[in-house]
């Protein structure tokens, strides 16, 4: 494994830097968007009717904010994991030590959002896609979502188990 890391050090460093940039960018965009919205509300510069209209039209954007935050943190976890692999010694940073919890929070949030979507679409016919029956498309979408979330849980468990192994191998070298 050390040979692979040494052979690809520059590329791995680039990947780590890009993941860190992406994570910080997502968190910054969400922070600025929330700050602008809070300033609008607190300043009273927007009429109540206009504020209601903005909230109604931007509901999708507002509901995506937690997803963007979690994706930002996931990108930072990936960046720190790669950096930790590249470092010859040292402890993993806090975000990496708690990376599994971030992944589990992402899975939990995704489950809540999936339940919300399925409860909404069960009252409408929006899941009838490409001529599939309502039940067929619902089962297909549910199975793919369950598989995606199980993969994330597996990544979280693996991360939790792999970090001590990496730490021990660094001490032996």
Nearest to 58 by CA among 80, 77, 36, 89: 36
pLDDT in tens, 1-44: 678 888 989 999 999 999 999 999 999 999 998 888 788 778 77
Q: Is the pLDDT of residue 67 over 70?
A: yes
Q: Please report the pLDDT score of residue 15 as a whole number.
A: 95
- Report d(CA 76, CA 28) in Å as an integer: 13
pTM here is 0.75
Mean pLDDT confidence for 133-139: 67
Q: Which domain holds residue 40?
A: 1-92
Compare 98 and 63 and report the one with higher pLDDT. 98
Q: Is the pLDDT of residue 46 over 80?
A: no
Assess whether 63 and 21 both reside in one domain. yes
Q: How many domains does the chain have?
A: 2
Assess whether 40 and 22 both reside in one domain. yes
DSSP characters over 40-93: HHHHT-S-HHHHHHHHHHTHHHHHHHHHHHHHHHHHHHHHHHHHHHH-SS-PPP
Nearest to 20 by CA among 64, 84, 106: 84
Assess whether 45 and 85 both reside in one domain. yes
Assess whether 103 and 21 both reside in one domain. no
Q: Kindly state the tokens that stand for 123.
A: 């009252």
Give, as one character, the DSSP assignment of residue 126: T
* Residue 173 confidence class, pLDDT cut points 50, 70, 90: low
């Amino acid at each position: 494994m050390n040979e692979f890391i040494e052979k690809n050090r520059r590329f791995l460093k680039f990947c780590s830097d890009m993941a860190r940039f992406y994570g910080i960018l997502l968190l910054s965009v969400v922070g600025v968007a929330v700050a602008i919205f809070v300033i609008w509300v607190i300043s009273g510069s927007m009429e109540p009717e206009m504020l209601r209209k903005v909230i109604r039209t931007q509901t999708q954007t507002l509901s995506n904010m937690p997803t963007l935050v979690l994706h930002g943190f996931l990108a930072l976890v990936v960046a720190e994991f790669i950096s930790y692999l590249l470092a010859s010694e040292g402890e993993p940073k806090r975000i990496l030590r708690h990376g599994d919890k971030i992944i589990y929070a992402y899975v939990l949030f995704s489950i809540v959002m999936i339940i919300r979507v399925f409860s909404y679409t069960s009252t409408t016919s929006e899941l009838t896609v490409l001529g599939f029956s309502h039940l067929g498309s619902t089962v297909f979408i549910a199975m793919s979502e369950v598989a995606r979330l199980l993969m994330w849980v597996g990544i979280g468990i693996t991360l939790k188990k792999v970090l001590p192994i990496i730490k021990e191998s660094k001490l032996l070298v």
